[in-house]
Structure 1
């Protein structure tokens, strides 16, 4: 089981900075998902910045979300 998200911040267009409960900080690029249905709304940086943590995952007001597993496995360690 992968660690849960404890904080999220949109740091630039299409990039989220994610902190996990194991003290790792990673960058997650949402751009591969932007042409898929409900994720198209994340193309708007102002909307992307509305990301919040819920139940160890990341979500947005219109119910888009990414699981902690997706975020952890597909993100890049900060500084890499």
Structure 2
């Protein structure tokens, strides 16, 4: 199964509430991920809030985005999906 974000809403600071196509929901805090040339502009909270759902994940107008798998792992670190993904990568 390919995991993807189906809904997202800003929930404060650098946090976003996410829903995934398998029914998993939760809040992700991206504050510690906002470094580097592409992600640095997201430290501006007004810009951070301007995300859109594009290509099954969060994206911003400057080209910044996060892989849906990364976002999912932040919410459900011990999920079956994570173990399946890790096994597929090591095969």
TM class, shorter-length: 0.7 to 0.9
Moved over 3 A (4+): none
Q: TM-score scaled to structure 1, two decimals?
A: 0.83
Normalised by the size of structure 2, how large is the TM-score? Answer: 0.74
Unaligned runs of 5+ in 1: none
Cα contact 1:51–1:60 (8 A) shared by 2: yes
* Count of residue correspondences: 77
- Measure the CA separation in 2 of the matches of 1:71 and 1:30: 9
What is the root-mean-square deviation in Å for CA atoms of aligned residues?
Answer: 1.8
- Which consecutive unaligned segments of at least 5 residues does structure 2 have? 78-91
Name 2:82's counterpart in structure 1. Answer: none
Taking CA–CA contacts closer than 8 Å with sequence separation of 6 or more, which of the two structures ends up with the larger relative contact order?
1
**CA offsets, 1:30-61, max 9 Å, x none?**
11112222111111111111111112111011
Q: Which residue of 2 aligns with 1:32?
A: 32
User: Larger Rg: 1 or 2?
Assistant: 2
Greater fraction helix: 2
